[in-house]
Structure 1
Amino acid sequence: MFSPIHNKLARRAGWHTSTSFKEMGNIYREIISRGSLSRGNLFLREKPWDMDTKKQKPPTDERAPILVAFGQAVRRRRKELGFSQEAFGDACGLDRSYMGGIERGEHNVALINIMKIIATLGISPSEFFSDLDGVD
């Protein structure tokens, strides 16, 4: 009733393979909830209910001070120019939500994106980075 790979997965998950097609869907749902499939191998999770795969943002006190200072400098200069986050992100060629993360100090920004931000602010890199003098 099952292919060899299905038999292997069902045995690893603790089921007998003499089940009906009706139960096959239930078996697949249970296998997926208990682990992940990779090239026919079943990797069981320690905690099947731990399904959250979203990346968790670090708490404010764990963010690198230089990233927080960089974000504050970007936010201050952006507001001086009268840009919203969305309009500024569009002008830079970056997503609005990414810009928000930068301003909160959640992203370690690539140099090319730093240069896009500085160019959009209309200042020189040395002028922008003078705002970060004294940050450890």
Structure 2
Amino acid sequence: MSEVLVRSFGTAVRRLREARGWSQEQLAEHADLNRSYVGEIERGRAIASLVTIDKLSQAFGVRSATLLGHCDELSDANALKGSRLAAIAC
């Protein structure tokens, strides 16, 4: 489950970044993060700390709860998708 959460958070970050028309480099500048670290977060290969979540939220101009809410929505959607696939396989 934690892997799904990390990937969902990365997807949420990527979607918000793309919605603003920003490159990873631009997001990194706005959030005072390294560009390669942003890429690792988006790919679900790095686990963002609370400080990083706060920096990303401020860069996007949203509350941390809003950013994490996007992540929860994606996690729920992935869990539902997985249960549908399991039902089909049975």
In the superposition, the TM-score normalised over structure 1's length comes to 0.51
Residue 104 of structure 1 and its aligned partner are, at CA, apart by 0.1
Gaps of 5+ in 2: 80-90
- Alignment pair present for 1:107 and 2:38: no
List per-residue Cα deviations over 1:25-52 (Å, max 9, x = no partner).
Answer: xxxxxxxxxxxxxxxxxxxxxxxxxxxx
Mark the runs of 5 or more structure 1 residues left unpaired by the alignment. Answer: 1-62
Q: Secondary structure at the match of 1:129?
A: helix
| Structure with the higher fraction of residues in strand conformation | 1
Larger CA Rg, structure 1 vs 2: 1
Give the Cα separation in 2 of the matches to 1:113 and 1:133. 17
Higher relative contact order (CA 8 A, sep 6+): 2
Partner residue of 1:98 out of 5, 20, 37:
37
Residue pair 2:8, 2:72 contacting (<8 A) in 1 also: no
User: Is contact 2:53–2:64 with CA below 8 Å preserved after alignment?
Assistant: no
1:118 and 1:106 map into 2 onto residues whose CA distance is 19
Question: 2: distance between equivalents of 1:105 and 1:133?
Answer: 14
**TM-score w.r.t. length of structure 2:** 0.75
> Sequence identity of aligned pairs in percent?
34
In structure 2, C-alpha distance between the alignment counterparts of 1:117 and 1:105, rounded to whole Å = 15
Distance in structure 1 (CA, Å) of the matches to 2:25 and 2:59:
13
> How much does 1:132 deviate?
2.2
User: Runs of 4+ in structure 1 displaced over 2 angstroms?
Assistant: 132-136
Alignment deviations for residues 62-110 of structure 1 (CA, whole Å, 9 cap, x no partner): x811110000000000111111001110111111111000000000111
Give the number of aligned pairs. Answer: 74
Secondary structure of the 2:5 match is helix
Counterpart of 1:124?
63
